[in-house]
Structure 1
Amino acid sequence: MNPVRAIVFWGLWVPLSTLVMTSPVEAQFTVDIDIEEPPFQYSETVGENRVTRLMEKLKSKEVELEYTRERGYLESLLAALDIPPSSQTLVFSKTSMQVRHISRRNPRAVYFNDDTYLAWINGSSLVEISTADPLLGAAFYTVDMVPWRANLERQNYDCLACHATSLTQGLPGHTVRSVMPSYDGSFDAQSETFITSDASPFPQRWGGWYVTGIHGEMQHMGNTYVRGGKLDISDNGNRMNLRDDFDTSNYLSPSSDIVALMVLEHQTQMHNTLVRANFFNRQRKYDAEQLDADEQDDAESNAQLQMIASEVVDRLLFREEAKLTDQVRGSVVFAHDFQSRGPFDSQGRSLRNFDLKTRLFQFPCSYLIYSDAFSSLDLELRLEIVRQLQSALTAEPDADDHLSARDRASILEILSETHSDFSRGPAERSVEQPAELPAISGD
C-alpha cells in the first residue's frame, strides 16, 4: 500500500488524482516522488531521531517515565524529550485524529522544541508526537498512557493521511492550520482555511486556536468562533489568560502564548522546506544514478540543485515575512526558555533574539540553521545553501529589500562565530564527509 504518490512541481504540489496541466511553464522542473519507493521507502526505513533515542533509553531502563493521575506521562515525556512546558499552545478546532476529545472547553495542548512536537488532550490516554528525522522528513509516534507502562510506537498511514498532503507540501511534514470553527470546534471543510507561517497576514492567523498575549490593534482569528455565518472578532484579542474560556487547572499553563504560536508557525514551515529540499535532492541524485554516463546532464543537475537550495535560503532569511504593525508581547517564561538556548556570539547576540516590534526576530535568519534537520542534509546541497546564503548576506541590498545592510552584516557575523559551516573556508567545508545515515531495513 502506497499512502502517497505525487508529482511535485517546484512551488506546487498536487495529488495525481487532481493533477491538471494548464501551462507548460509549471513543468519546467518536476520530481516524481513516491515516498514508499526508492530512495525513500518511508514505511521500511528505521527512524533515527530524538524519539527513537528515547525509546532506546526506555527499553534499557536508562530513563523511566512517571505517571500522574491528572496528566498521565505528560510532564515526564516533556522532560525526557527536552521540550519546555512554556511552549504550550492550545487548539480547539477538530483538526486532529482525536476529534471526539477536542472542544472549546477541552483544547488540545501542543508543546515543542527545535525538532519535536508533542500533543496532549485532557481526558485522552493517547499522546501524539512528531519529530524531524534525517531520512523520514517527519516521523510520527503515539504514546498509549496506561498507568503501568508508556507504550511508545511509531505510526505511519494514519498520520500521513493528513501529514503528507498538500497541507504539508506533499511530503511528510507539519502544519499550523487556521480554520473557521463552530462553537463546538468543528468546521466546514468547504470554508476558507489557511496554512499559516511567518508570511501570513495577522488577520489570517489562529482560527480555531486560543491566543494569549498583547498585540495592539492587530486582529487575528483566534479565541472565537463563527456566529451568524461570520467569525466574531469583536472581542477576541489581547487576552492575558484563558480562565474565562474554560477550566485551565489541569493544563501546565493557563495560556496559549502568542509568541510561541509565531515561532511554531515559522518552525513548521521551515522544517517542511528542509524536508522538501532533502527529498527533492535525494530523488534528483537517485534519478541521475539510474542513467548511463552519456545520458547525464551535469548542467541541468546543477541548475536543479541551485533551485532547491534557493527555496531554503529564502525561508531561512524570512524573505516573505509579514510585517508587524503593532508591538507583540507574550510570555516572559517562553521568551527566556527559547532565547537562552543560543548559541551566542562574542557580543551576546543570537539568531533567537526576538524583535516583536516590526518582525519576529531581531536578526532574521532562522535558528533552525543549527538544527539536525539542516546539518543532516546532503553535503553537496548544504554547501550550496551556505554559498547562496553568504552571497545574499554580502550583496548590496535593494531599496525594497527586507534586510538592511546592517541586518546582513550582523547575521553574517553571528553565523561566522557560531556555525561551523560559516567559520571555515570553502576548501575546509568541501572535504567534510556527511554524517552516516541510518540503514534501511524492513519492519
Structure 2
Amino acid sequence: MNVTRQSNNRWPLLVIAGWLICGTVASGQYSVDINLEEAPFDYIETQDDNRVTRLVKRIESKEITLEFTSERGHLESLLAALEIPASSQTLVFSKTSMQVRYISRRNPRAIYFNDDTYVGWVNGSSLVEISTFDPLLGAAFYTVEMKPWSPNIERAGYDCLGCHATSMTGGVPGHTIRSVLPQFDGSVDSQKPSYISSDTSPFSQRWGGWYVTGLHGEMRHMGNAILRGGVLDTSNSSNRMSVRDELDSASYLSSQSDIVALMVLEHQTQMQNEMVKADFFTRKLIHDDADVVLTEERAAERTEILRQIAHEVVKRMLFCDEATLTDPVKGSVVFAYEFKKRGPKDAQGRSLRDFDLKKRLFRYPCSYLIHSACFDALTPCLKTEICRQLMDVLSGNDTSETFDHLDADAKSATLSILRETNPEFRS
C-alpha cells in the first residue's frame, strides 16, 4: 500500500496563472475582498485537515486497507471508508470534467456523496476524483490513482480551482451542479447557455447533461436529453426508472441516477458554498481589523456587515425562493432511507432530513446542513449571528416579507426540532 501526499511547493501559484478570486460584501464605504493567495487564506500553503486526510492517516498506519477489484478498482472500498452510500449515485454524461476523454453517453461519470465529501469515478479510468469540505480551505481536492498494489492519494489544487473557485461557486473553493446543453457525444458548446442547478432553479433548467431516473409527473427537466438540430430533444426524457437503455449499468453500483439524490446534491452544494463564502468574508473581516483600534463607528459598521453576511446564509438555509414542485417527485427508496437515517431526530421522530417531495424538497424548511461539519466550523461570531437570525425568524420575531413562505406551523415544528437536535438552540 503506497499513499502519497503531494507537497505544497510543487503546486503552481494561483497568482502566477492569473487567478485572483474575489468577492465583495459592501456596507457604506467598506468592503471585504477575498484573495486566496493572501492571508488569512493562503490556500496553497494551508495544511489540509478533513475526512480525506483522516482516511490517509488510517491507511498509512495500516488501520485500513483499500481493496482493489478488476471491475472498479478501489471504488467500493473507498466509498465504504469515506462513509458514502452507493445509493447516492448520480450520472453525468456531459464532458464537464478533467476526464473528458473517458466520458460519453455510454460511459458517464458517476458521482457519489455524503454530507461533506464527493467522489467522481469514470469506468475505464484509473483516476478517482475526490473533493471534501475542509474547515480552512472551504473545499479541498484530491486524486486517487488506482493500482492493484498501491493507490496513490494526492492533494490537488490549481487545476481544480480553475472551475471550483469561480463565480459559479461564489468566488470561493466549492462545488456546483451545472446544467448544460450536450451534444450527442456529450461535448458542450461554450457559446450555448448553461445554468447552475439549485433548489431555486426552475425545474425546466435542471440537469442538462445528467441522467435522471425517477418520477416527476408533468414537470419537465433537461436531463437525459441531447441536442438535435440545435434544439434540446426532451420528447422522451421524462419519468425514467433506470438507465439500462442508455448504457451498460452493470458496470456501475446502481442502475439509477436518482432524481431525489440530484435534488439533495444541488441544494447541498449551494448551501455549502454559501456557508464557506460567509466564513471566508468573516475571517477576512476579522483579519483586516486585527491591527487597528476599533472605533465606535467602525464597530457598528462591522456588526452591520456581519449581519448582512449571515442574512444570506439564513435565506438559503430557510429555502427562500425555493422553486415550488407542481407534481409529486418519487425517487429511490434506498437513497431516501439511507439519507434520512444519518440525521438526528427529535423525540417525535422528526428530522430536518424528512422529505416532502410534493410541493418542496424537505418537509421542514431548514437545511439539514445545520448539523454538518461545515456549519460547525463557522467562525464563532458568524455562527452566533446566523443562529440569532434563525431564532428571530422561526420564533416569529422577524416578520419581514423575505420569510413569508414559512407558515406558523412550519416555523414552530422546525424550531422545535432544532431545539432538540442542535445545542446552539437549546438555550
Distance 1:404 1:71, change over 3 A: same
Write out aligned runs for 1:24-103 (5 A).
30-103=31-104
- Counterpart of 2:404? 401
Which amino acid counterpart does residue 235 of structure 1 have in structure 2? N
- Report deviation, 1:46: 0.8
- Counterpart of 2:227? 226
Q: What is the distance in 1 between the residues matched to 2:293 and 2:347? A: 51
**How many residues align structurally?**
410
- Counterpart of 1:14? none
- Counterpart of 1:440? none
SS at match of 1:110: strand
SS at match of 2:132: strand
SS at match of 1:68: coil
- Counterpart of 2:358? 357
The Cα offsets for residues 153-210 of structure 1, whole Å up to 9 and x where unpaired, read as: 1001010111011111111000000000000000111110001100000000000000
Q: Which runs of 5+ in 2 are unaligned?
A: 1-12
Q: What is the distance in 2 between the residues matched to 1:298 and 1:70? A: 60
- Counterpart of 1:319? 320
Write out aligned runs for 1:206-217 (5 A).
206-217=207-218
- Report deviation, 1:294: 5.1
Q: What is the distance in 2 between the residues matched to 1:244 and 1:169? A: 37
Write out aligned runs for 1:328-347 (5 A).
328-347=329-348
Which amino acid counterpart does residue 349 of structure 2 have in structure 1? G
Does the CA-based 8 Å contact 2:21-2:172 persist in structure 1? no
Q: What is the distance in 2 between the residues matched to 1:276 and 1:208? A: 27
> 1:2 aligned to 2:5?
no
Does the CA-based 8 Å contact 2:21-2:166 persist in structure 1? no
- Report deviation, 1:292: 4.0
Q: What is the distance in 2 between the residues matched to 1:223 and 1:375? A: 37
Q: What is the distance in 2 between the residues matched to 1:213 and 1:406? A: 30
SS at match of 1:34: coil
Does the CA-based 8 Å contact 2:170-2:273 persist in structure 1? yes
- Counterpart of 1:433? none
Write out aligned runs for 1:287-306 (5 A).
287-293=288-294, 297-306=298-307
Distance 1:398 1:26, change over 3 A: closer
Does the CA-based 8 Å contact 1:55-1:152 persist in structure 2? yes
SS at match of 1:362: coil
SS at match of 1:270: helix
Distance 1:387 1:293, change over 3 A: closer
Q: What is the distance in 2 between the residues matched to 1:202 and 1:285? A: 40
The RMSD of aligned alpha carbons is 1.5
Which amino acid counterpart does residue 424 of structure 2 have in structure 1? D
- Report deviation, 1:295: 9.4
Q: What is the distance in 2 between the residues matched to 1:114 and 1:398? A: 31
- Counterpart of 1:416? 419
- Counterpart of 1:161? 162
Does the CA-based 8 Å contact 1:7-1:31 persist in structure 2? no
- Counterpart of 1:437? none
Which amino acid counterpart does residue 121 of structure 1 have in structure 2? V
- Counterpart of 2:3? none
> Runs in 1 of length 4+ with deviation above 6 angstroms?
none
- Report deviation, 1:306: 0.5
Distance 1:306 1:93, change over 3 A: same
SS at match of 2:110: strand
- Counterpart of 1:430? none
**TM-score, normalization: structure 2?**
0.94
Write out aligned runs for 1:174-323 (5 A).
174-293=175-294, 297-323=298-324
SS at match of 1:118: strand
Q: What is the distance in 2 between the residues matched to 1:293 and 1:333? A: 54
Q: What is the distance in 2 between the residues matched to 1:68 and 1:85? A: 16
Does the CA-based 8 Å contact 1:312-1:385 persist in structure 2? yes
- Report deviation, 1:2: 2.6
Which amino acid counterpart does residue 372 of structure 2 have in structure 1? S
Q: What is the distance in 2 between the residues matched to 1:294 and 1:312? A: 27
Does the CA-based 8 Å contact 1:205-1:222 persist in structure 2? yes
| Greater displacement, 394-403 / 246-255 | 394-403
- Counterpart of 2:134? 133
Distance 1:224 1:26, change over 3 A: farther
The Cα offsets for residues 343-389 of structure 1, whole Å up to 9 and x where unpaired, read as: 00000000000000000000010000011110111111111100000
Which amino acid counterpart does residue 98 of structure 1 have in structure 2? Q
- Counterpart of 1:114? 115
Does the CA-based 8 Å contact 2:141-2:157 persist in structure 1? yes
> 1:369 aligned to 2:384?
no
- Report deviation, 1:224: 1.0
Which amino acid counterpart does residue 5 of structure 1 have in structure 2? L
Does the CA-based 8 Å contact 1:9-1:29 persist in structure 2? no
Distance 1:26 1:221, change over 3 A: farther
Does the CA-based 8 Å contact 2:345-2:351 persist in structure 1? yes
SS at match of 2:191: coil
- Counterpart of 1:438? none
Q: What is the distance in 1 between the residues matched to 2:127 and 2:47? A: 23
Does the CA-based 8 Å contact 2:317-2:367 persist in structure 1? yes
- Report deviation, 1:291: 2.6
Q: What is the distance in 2 between the residues matched to 1:188 and 1:412? A: 46
Which amino acid counterpart does residue 252 of structure 2 have in structure 1? Y
Q: What is the distance in 1 between the residues matched to 2:346 and 2:408? A: 19
> 1:386 aligned to 2:383?
no
The Cα offsets for residues 390-418 of structure 1, whole Å up to 9 and x where unpaired, read as: 00101166788111100000000000001
- Counterpart of 1:145? 146
SS at match of 2:22: strand
Q: What is the distance in 2 between the residues matched to 1:103 and 1:250? A: 14
Does the CA-based 8 Å contact 2:21-2:165 persist in structure 1? no
